[in-house]
Amino acid sequence: ELIDRLIIDPYVYTKVFYIMTLGCNDQFRNRGLGSKLIEDCINLVEQVGECGVMYLHVITYNKAAIRFYERLGFHRIQEIEDYYTIDEEKYNCYLYAKFFHGNRRSLK
């Protein structure tokens, strides 16, 4: 199960933070807007001791998003087959996570 991959002790870490969608129009990219939004989310999670992880999914071909999240300290946990369906075609995604408050799953 997903939570088992992300949380070492569900009795200690009773909350998770999921980023469903983050996007920016081309004309507004590279202005720090996405970084600011994620930094605000990180600051929020840091104030909630029961939240052990912030996680998200990224389609495997979105190299810019992958670099963005890795630069912000997210770790690739696993590849999930056929997670997205776009125009009736299946695409894999990567599960990315950033751990907080001593929650740390092995990244192997």
- The C-alpha atoms of residue 45 and residue 40 are separated, in whole angstroms, by 9
State the catalytic residue, choosing from 11, 55, 57, 101: 57
Pick left, alpha or beta for residue 32 (phi over 0 → left; psi -120 to 50 → alpha; otherwise beta). Answer: left
DSSP state of 45: H
In angstroms, what CA-CA distances link 99 with 73, 86, 107? 9, 30, 11
State the catalytic residue, choosing from 11, 18, 75, 83: 18
Q: Is 11 a catalytic residue?
A: no
Reading the block at residue 14, the tokens are 């009773």
Q: Chain centroid to CA 68: how far?
A: 11
Q: Is 57 a catalytic residue?
A: yes
- The C-alpha atoms of residue 91 and residue 104 are separated, in whole angstroms, by 28
User: Would you please indicate which residues are annotated as catalytic (active-site) residues?
Assistant: 18, 57
